[in-house]
């Protein structure tokens, strides 16, 4: 089947077009995924900054109860895996999970090591460095953001409890959001691209096959049958169809007629020779 004219015409075209489309779709998917993850990280950083700003007044007034309730309310939101506030020493001061309060986090833990890697802790991090991915106990992917709580002018001068001006970072907000929706969107995108590639394959193969069949193969097979019949001595009217097919059909008919005439003349000449030989013998 692969040796047929149809296969030789269709297979390379189908392979080339579909293969190239798959390559481009794979790369495009990679770009889109990177953009979506980057957008998710920026959105989370924005959310973390919003939380820090909205709890700033409660921190300034040392209103721990309000702060505790705010953190608890944020943690109960759909999609929020964890939210906690560390102090400078890495002690969990506030958390949506009361069991974490009072726990001490190692500086080399992921999420902390980005700032504490060197002798002097870093004061600022790029957006992607603030983000980290991990899987929770349920196996779901979580994107966590570590946002520092900076010592602002109001904090250093407040009467209730003050932080020396030299303390640039007072603590850290750590918030983790489930990436379930993002992953679902990416899986949907993957599915759509697979469908697109399948459609390209079907269109390419179907389109090329249909056009070739209509314009090349059907006339070719008719011509083959015509030539076979005429070559076998059959009489057929002139072959119709495309100009090229008509021309070839005409030439085959002429050749066959010419051959038949020659065979008839040869046969007549043999008969005359046989008659002459018979007369000579007599």
Residues that bind another protein (CB under 8 A): 2-3, 8, 11-12, 15-16, 18-20, 22-24, 26-27, 30-31, 33-34
Closest CB 124 distance from another protein, rounded Å: 23
Nearer to another protein, 118 or 166 (CB): 118
Q: Among all chains, which residue has been given the structure tokens 């008509």?
A: 246
Measure Cα distances from 125 to 87, 88, 111, 129, 148 in Å. Answer: 18, 17, 11, 6, 9
Q: How far is the CB of 243 from another protein (least distance, A)?
A: 24
Torsion angle, alpha carbons of 45, 49, 52, 57, to 10: -170
Residue nearer to another protein on the CB measure, 33 or 222 = 33
DSSP labels, 156-186: HH-SSS---TT--EEEEEEEEEE-HHHHHHH
For another protein, the closer of residues 22 and 105 by Cβ is: 22
Cβ-based nearer residue to another protein, 70 or 190: 190
CB of 200 to another protein, least distance (A): 13
| Encoded tokens for 12 | 């390379």
For another protein, the closer CB: 25 or 236: 25
Number of Cβ atoms within 10 Å of the Cβ of 83: 26
CB of 22 to another protein, least distance (A): 4
Least Å distance between CB 13 and another protein? 9
């Amino acid at each position: 089947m692969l040796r047929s004219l149809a296969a030789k015409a269709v297979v390379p075209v189908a392979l080339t077009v579909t293969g190239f489309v798959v390559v481009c779709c794979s790369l495009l998917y990679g770009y889109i995924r990177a953009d979506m993850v980057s957008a998710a990280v920026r959105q989370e950083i924005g959310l973390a900054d919003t939380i820090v700003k909205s709890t700033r007044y409660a921190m300034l007034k040392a209103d721990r109860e309000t702060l505790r309730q705010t953190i608890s309310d944020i943690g109960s939101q759909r999609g929020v895996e964890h939210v906690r506030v560390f102090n400078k020493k890495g002690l969990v001061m506030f958390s949506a999970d009361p069991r974490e309060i009072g726990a001490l986090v190692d500086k080399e833990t992921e999420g902390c090591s980005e700032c504490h890697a060197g002798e002097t802790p870093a004061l600022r991090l790029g957006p992607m460095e603030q983000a980290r991915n991990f899987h929770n106990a349920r196996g779901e992917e979580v994107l966590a953001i570590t946002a520092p709580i900076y010592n602002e002018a109001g904090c250093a001068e407040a009467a209730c409890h003050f932080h020396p001006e030299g303390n640039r970072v007072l603590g850290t907000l750590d918030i983790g959001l489930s990436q379930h929706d993002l992953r679902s969107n990416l899986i949907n995108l993957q599915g759509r691209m697979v469908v697109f590639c399948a459609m390209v394959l079907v269109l390419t193969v179907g389109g090329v096959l249909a056009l070739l069949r209509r314009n090349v193969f059907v006339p070719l097979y008719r011509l083959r049958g015509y030539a076979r019949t005429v070559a076998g001595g059959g009489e057929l009217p002139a072959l119709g169809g495309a100009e090229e097919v008509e021309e070839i059909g005409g030439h085959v008919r002429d050749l066959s007629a010419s051959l038949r005439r020659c065979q008839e003349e040869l046969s007549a000449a043999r008969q005359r020779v046989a008659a002459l030989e018979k007369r000579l013998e007599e």
